[in-house]
Structure 1
Amino acid sequence: MSDVEIIRARALHGVSHGFLGRRGGVSTGVVAGLNVGLGSADDPDAIAENRRRAAEAVLPGASLVTLYQVHSADAVTVLEPFEDRLRPHADALVTNRPGLALGVLAADCAPVLLADREAGVVGAAHAGWKGAIGGVTNSAIAAMEALGAERSRIVAAVGPCIARASYEVDAGFFQRFAEADPDNERFFADGKPEHFQFDLEAYVAHRLAAAGLRTIEMLGEDTYSQPDRFYSFRRATHRGEADYGRQVSIIGL
């Protein structure tokens, strides 16, 4: 649909995919726009229409498949559509079956779309800080390999997420990453006393590169600072809003 904004990655050229924001939907109020979050307090009919519009905008005729996301490092292989009420508790999904639109939802966390064109295998991951440090992208890559992909051929794009300038964290958060790997300190910039600014996008890209991927694109879109284009949990929290929307990123064959 022409009014649904679709952001595409050069790295995924030739693969049906799109990072969507809040433009082009039917929801109203604080979640106005293309809210696809089943966990929000939005009108279920509006959410259903938004999910239909999102899938049609990226992969017409495909079945949208999403997860019950729990900030884990778990990945699932999808071979056929399933009902929304049967969504697996996981944060990455992969497939080699045409007609499935794999979707991950986010509202500041990093959506990651992956593809091995030659093998005909695609994947999508929801990488919040917990999933990112836990290895959700590694799990997605391993699940893709189980379907015949080769990590040397897998390309990836990290979509709109909260940027370092908008992502203030405390010393405990910083210490958690530093203890996991001292090199992680480079993803933090000094903030106010006892606080830091965390670069989630760069950290996720680093994890993809460390896993052996050669082509990784970062879109550099900050969800927090662009309220007209993207939903943001942190922005909604700072504004004292009662609810927040979720945007979807989709890939399929």
Structure 2
Amino acid sequence: MRIRRVITTREGGHSQPPFDSFNLGGKVGDDPAALAANQRKLAEGIGLDQDRLVWMEQIHGRTATRVEAPHSAPVEATDALVTAVPNLALAALVADCVPVLLGDPDSGVVSAVHAGRVGARVGVVVAALKTMHQAGARIDRIEALLGPAACGQCYEVPPEMQADVERHLPGSACKTRNGTSGLDIRAGLWEQLAAAGVAGIGVDPRCTMESRELFSHRRDGPRTGRLAAVIWADPEGQQ
């Protein structure tokens, strides 16, 4: 079984400014026709039928939901999806939060996680790992990818917020490039995954706030798009 992972950028889609152009997020104010065209293009690009893409209604919580079949609408009120079904692609939408893609190539169990500051603080990745284990994954076989997100040099927060997150997600506190209190959520999640015994952890180093080819809520404000981080198990692929 081969674990496939894809992270989109904002380029090559159908949306008009300020969602230009490959926005994949609903409920951000984009033209529904453009969003639908972008979702079709994503499915075509990864070689799956569009109904094999599973989205979620992200709420910055810690719920992990197991899915066993395609869904015609986003899975309600969850921030992590888990499946053991081959060629069922799970998607997390972000524009500064950390997308976490988890896969066990032996069992074919995969998970897509939306880990923003709040979700990471309350343990959404831990919940995803637990649900993966229940679905047949082994933690020491899981490989993780932490996708593009707001980096610690850019993500400035009040000292009290930094201290609170650090208590719950050790390793996340940092200094910004301006010397102020900051958060590096990916660093904290790396520590959390390593402590859990995850087999391998990769990090996409791009910062959404710095990289113009990526969407950023903190840089551009609420009227911006969302990139997608997608994972699925390919039964015909080789490890």
TM-score (norm 1): 0.86
Q: Which runs of 5+ in 1 are unaligned?
A: 1-12
Measured after TM superposition, the shift of residue 177 of structure 1 is 2.3
1:234 to 218, 221, 224: 218
* Contact 1:168 1:197 survives alignment (8 Å): yes
Q: Structure 1 152/31 Cα, relative in aligned 2: closer, same or farther at 3 Å? A: same
2:144 matches 1:159: no
* Contact 1:224 1:232 survives alignment (8 Å): yes
Other structure's SS at 1:29 match: coil
| RMSD across aligned positions (CA) | 1.9
Measured after TM superposition, the shift of residue 161 of structure 1 is 0.6
Hey, what's the Cα distance between the residues in 2 that align with 1:98 and 1:214?
A: 21
Match of 2:65 in 1: 76
Which AA in structure 2 matches 1:234? R
1:198 to 169, 183, 198: 183
TM-score (norm 2): 0.91
Q: Structure 1 33/205 Cα, relative in aligned 2: closer, same or farther at 3 Å? A: same
Hey, what's the Cα distance between the residues in 2 that align with 1:221 and 1:65?
A: 25
Match of 1:248 in 2: 228
* Contact 1:98 1:252 survives alignment (8 Å): yes
Can you list the C-alpha shifts for 1:75-113, whole angstroms capped at 9, x where unaligned? Answer: 0001011122x5221000011112311000000000010
Q: Structure 1 204/45 Cα, relative in aligned 2: closer, same or farther at 3 Å? A: same
Hey, what's the Cα distance between the residues in 1 that align with 2:104 and 2:55?
A: 20
Other structure's SS at 1:31 match: coil
* Contact 1:16 1:59 survives alignment (8 Å): no
Hey, what's the Cα distance between the residues in 2 that align with 1:25 and 1:205?
A: 32
Percent identity of the aligned residues? 34
Which AA in structure 1 matches 2:58? Q
Q: 1:162-177 maps to which residues of 2 (within 5 A)?
A: 162-177=150-165
* Contact 1:73 1:136 survives alignment (8 Å): yes
2:98 matches 1:118: no
* Contact 2:100 2:144 survives alignment (8 Å): yes
Hey, what's the Cα distance between the residues in 2 that align with 1:39 and 1:204?
A: 27
Q: Structure 1 124/59 Cα, relative in aligned 2: closer, same or farther at 3 Å? A: farther
Measured after TM superposition, the shift of residue 244 of structure 1 is 1.0
**Which structure features the higher share of helix residues?**
1
Hey, what's the Cα distance between the residues in 2 that align with 1:73 and 1:180?
A: 13
Can you list the C-alpha shifts for 1:212-246, whole angstroms capped at 9, x where unaligned? Answer: 2130001101111112x100000012xxxx61100
Can you list the C-alpha shifts for 1:26-82, whole angstroms capped at 9, x where unaligned? Answer: 101111011011111100011111112122222422511111000111100010111
1:25 to 13, 34, 41: 13
1:222 to 207, 222, 226: 207
Aligned residues: 232
Can you list the C-alpha shifts for 1:146-186, whole angstroms capped at 9, x where unaligned? Answer: 111100100100011111111111112112124436x54x6
Measured after TM superposition, the shift of residue 207 of structure 1 is 1.5
Q: Which stretch shows the higher mean deviation, 59-68 or 38-47?
A: 59-68
